Every structure is written in C-alpha cells, then in structure tokens.
Structure 1
Amino acid sequence: MLVISEQDARALVSVEDAIAVVEKSFAAMARGFARNYPVVRELVGYQDAVYGVKTGCDTSAPLLGLKAGGYWPHNLAKGLTNHQSSTVLFDPETGRASALVSANYLTGVRTGAASAIATKYLSRPDSSVLGIIGTGVQSAYQLRATLAVRPVRTVYAWDPSPENLVTFGRTVAELGLAYAPQTDCQAVAANADILITVTPSQRALVEKSWVRPGTHISAMGADTKGK
C-alpha cells in the first residue's frame, strides 16, 4: 500500500493542481461518471468530537475511495489542527486498498479549489477586491485559490477573533496584497467584488442590502444543515 504523508501531499499537489482536478471531477459528476455516496456524520461522545466518513467513485478515472475524520475542538491546545482527515483509496478493479493519504492539507486545498471554480465561472473577470468573513485555517486556502483565478489586489476581512485576523493578515502581506481588517461584517460585504464566508455560524452574518450588485458569493462554511 502506498502511504502519502502531509509533507508529501503538500509537495505533490499545488493549488492550481487542485483546481484542475476538482473541476474535472465536477464535470464527471455532471456527466454521470462520478457520484458521492451517503455521508456518515456523528457525534463521537468523546472529546466533543464530530466524526464523519465521505465516500465516492469516479468511473472515468477510475478512482474509488473514502475520507474519514472530523472535528476535534480541543486539538489546538495539543498543537494540532482541529480538523483531521485521512483518505483511503481502493483499486476499482479488485476493491483492494491501494493508498493511505494524510488529508488535512488536501481537504483544505480541495475546499479552496471548489470555491475558486465557482469564482472562475460566476464572478466578474476584473474582480480585484476579495472579502472574507471568517479567517480561521481555511481562509488561507480560499485566498490562495481565489488568487489563482482572479486578479485580487485588496482583501477585506472580519472574524470574531482578533488573533485570527492578525494571523490571516500575515498571509495576505506575504502575498503582496493590501489588507483591510474590519470590526464588522457589513464593511467587508459592502466593499467586496468576491465575498467568501468561511464560518460554521448558525445565524446569518450578511444582509442582502450590504451586498453590491454583481458581487459573487461563495458560502463555503454552510456545508451542513443549520449553518
């Protein structure tokens, strides 16, 4: 069995690679060659964790596999990220396990790629101002993926945690972009050409009246019922 570490995954798959293969996968799904199977998502009853299994197959590749993992909210105190994922691939010819892949980075870059594909086809080509609501770990993936498809020059951002805003600001600065952290969501939404929400919030954070006509929105945090 092939084993791919986090370090290997980062070295092997770029943001641009992820965008290309995720777009190919979406097209395969639209043509009926690929499908996702029902998702398992449950409370563990230990460490306040949420555990899930996501599976699927693409017969045009062909690829068959699953991703298992979830959210362990106390991991940061242990020096680990709260989201943990591992992927197992199977030989579609025989069903035998063929690879074990550490998938924390790949989950992040895949989520960024999905957003970037929507941005690529639905936002204005000259969009240069990115607004991000929620600046946790996933926000850096969203930023880098958006930069791969649009000429972003300025980033507005909001997060309930000032520390998150500062950390995200370092990433923005490293990429040579102007950074405008905000104390409320309205300023972010009102200035954005592209607005990305990356938060598990159970309440609305953006009002329709704040958003300018023509703004593209990717609601990446709203991935389960109630968010």
Structure 2
Amino acid sequence: MLILTAEDIKKVFNMKDAIEADKEAFEIYSKGQSEVPLRTNIKVEKYNGSSLFMPGYVKQIDSLGIKIVSVFPENIKKGLPAVPAKMILLDGKTGDVCSIMDGTYLTKLRTGASAGAATDVLARKDSKIGALIGTGGQAFCQLEALLVTRDLDVVKVYSRNREKVLNFVKNANAKLSSYNTKIVAAETSDEAIEDADVITVVTTSTKPVFDGRKIKKGAHINGVGSFMEHMQEIDEHTIINCDKAFVDSKEAVLNESGDFIIPIKKGLISKEKVNGELGEVIGKVLKGRETDEEITLFKSVGIAVQDVVTAYKIYKRALEKGIGQNIEL
C-alpha cells in the first residue's frame, strides 16, 4: 500500500495534469461509465462540522475509492485545516486498498481543475481579465487553474477580509510569477467582476457574494464553493439570466447546491435551466459556448469520479517515479 503526502503529490502531478484528469472524469461520468452515489453527509453539530463520504467506481481504469472529507470551520482557531481529508484508493481487480493519500490537497487540486476544465471548454479564448472571489483554502488552486487555461493580463481578487486578500495577493504573485499575470486586490466584489471575462467564486457563503447585473456580456462564471442546499454564493439574477448553465452532475447539483435549489423552490427557475453536464460538452454530445456574447455558467459541487480518476493517475505516476512510502498492514 502506497502512502502519498501532499508534497509527494506535488512532485508527480501538476495543475495541467489535474485539468486533463478532470476532463476525462467528467466525460466518463456523463457517459454513465462510472458508479457514483450521492455523497453521505454526516453532521457533527457539537463542533459545527460535517463529514462527507464520497465513494466511486470507474470500470475502465479498474479503480474505485472513497474520499472522506470533513468541513470543520472551527479548526482554523486550532491551527488545523478547516477541510481535512483522506483519499483511499482500491484496486478494482482485487478490491484491496492500494493507496492512501492526502485528500486535502487532492481536493484542492481536482476542485481547482474542475473550474479550469470548465474555463478551458466554455470561456472565450481571448479572455484577458479574471476575477476570483474567495481567499480560503481552495482559492490558490482555483487561481492557478485560471492561469493555466487562459493567458490573462490581470486577475482581481476579493473577499470580505481585506488582510487575507492582501496576503493572498502577495503570496500568489510570488508563487505564480511565471504566468506573467498581474494579481491585484479588489476593494469590492463589484470592482472584482467589472469587465471580467472569467469569474471564479469559491466561498461557502449563504448569501450571494456578487451582483450578477454587473457581469459583462460574454463572461464565463465558475461557481465551485457552495456545496450544500443552504449555501448560495451565486445570485439569482445570474442563475436566471445566464445564457447557458452546465454542471458537473445534474443529480448532485440539483440535490445539493443552494445556488439552484433556492431559486427552484422560489419558482424562479425550473430544473430545465441546467443545459447539461460539462462532460456532455467535453464529449461533444452538447454544444458549449456558441457566441462571444453568451454568458456561460459552470456549477460544481464535486463528485467522486474526479477523486477516483485523479487519485488513480497520481498513484500510477508515483509508482513510475518511485515516490511515496510503501507499507504493509
């Protein structure tokens, strides 16, 4: 059994690799070639937390696994990750565990890659201005995914905590300098999304974090933060008025995402507002962006097929390069 830390993963797998893995995973899912039950969410109210169990099976790579990811916001006060996770990968031929890897970084990587995949497929090719709302644990990989998929001149970053924004921008400019993109702090969400060609929102907010009336024609929006029915980071104007809305999984988003569930319950939209899954666009079953004026939206709650496919590719790459620690139980 191969044990892989976050640093091990970084040695063998980069964001570009992860984006390609997510594209493959989304297409596999939309073709019905995987078994991915809805996640099981166990609430731990005593500590204001919840633990999610995400199993999946992908026949064509003979691999299955389960990611256990917890959301314990109070951990930050203890100096611990707010979203700790572990990924358990099984050999589909034997059913035995072949690897345990850091699921916290895996989640950041494949979640960033999901927005990267959507941006690559749906955003205008000539996109030059990006916006990032949210500076939590997922934000850095989200930013990197934007830079990998589009040659952006500037990305404007906003969150309610000004100090966090400034620290994030300083760190991002240092670590991502090779992309030659200017990363700047925005004073407001309006300023962040003004003239933005690509907007990524990565928060767990229960109230919309930007005004959809300020979005320019031709923009693409990634909503990747909210993953429970009471969370709503994207405003209803955006959901109602976007020209095309794609998701990672219809079943998952319509059962878990407040961004869609809340306006559906209000009667503002129907389930048919979702044009389809990103995997259907990647597989050329559906058309994505058709004009430069369309406003496109991608909503993701995260599905286990992403974890299984990405973890499998990381595991294989680590074996090839002799990275990680082998143990016997």
- TM-score between the two structures when normalised by the length of structure 2: 0.66
TM-superposition CA deviations, 1:135-165 (whole Å, max 9, x none)? 1121110111111110012011210111220
Of the three residues 203, 207, 222, the one matched with 2:226 is 222
Structure 2 residue aligned with 1:147 = 147
User: SS state of the match for residue 200, structure 1?
Assistant: coil
Question: 1:214 deviation in Å?
Answer: 0.3
Question: 1:119 deviation in Å?
Answer: 0.3
- AA at the equivalent of 1:93: K
Of the three residues 175, 185, 191, the one matched with 1:187 is 191
Question: 1:205 deviation in Å?
Answer: 2.0
Extract unaligned runs of 5+ from structure 1. none
User: SS state of the match for residue 75, structure 1?
Assistant: helix
Structure 1 residue aligned with 2:123 = 123
Of the three residues 194, 200, 209, the one matched with 1:205 is 209
Contact persistence 2:193–2:214 (CA under 8 A): yes
Does 94-103 or 176-185 show the bigger shift? 176-185
Structure 1 residue aligned with 2:18 = 18
- AA at the equivalent of 2:43: L
Q: 2: distance between equivalents of 1:224 and 1:42?
A: 12
Does 164-173 or 146-155 show the bigger shift? 164-173
Q: 2: distance between equivalents of 1:115 and 1:35?
A: 22
Question: 1:96 deviation in Å?
Answer: 1.7
- AA at the equivalent of 2:84: Q
- AA at the equivalent of 2:186: Q
- AA at the equivalent of 1:182: A
- What pairs up with 1:1-227 in 2 under 5 angstroms? 1-174=1-174, 175-176=176-177, 177-227=181-231
Contact persistence 1:182–1:188 (CA under 8 A): yes
Structure 1 residue aligned with 2:265 = none
Contact persistence 2:65–2:89 (CA under 8 A): yes
Contact persistence 2:69–2:104 (CA under 8 A): no
Contact persistence 1:130–1:194 (CA under 8 A): yes
Q: Which structure has the highest helix share of the two?
A: 2
How many equivalent pairs are there?
227
- AA at the equivalent of 2:92: P
RMSD after superposition? 1.5
TM-superposition CA deviations, 1:26-83 (whole Å, max 9, x none)? 1111222123112111212443221110111111112100000211222223332211
Contact persistence 1:39–1:55 (CA under 8 A): yes
- TM-score between the two structures when normalised by the length of structure 1: 0.94
Q: Which structure has the highest strand share of the two?
A: 1
User: SS state of the match for residue 194, structure 2?
Assistant: helix
Question: 1:222 deviation in Å?
Answer: 2.5
Identity of aligned residues (%): 26
Contact persistence 1:172–1:178 (CA under 8 A): no
Contact persistence 1:132–1:197 (CA under 8 A): yes
Question: 1:20 deviation in Å?
Answer: 1.1
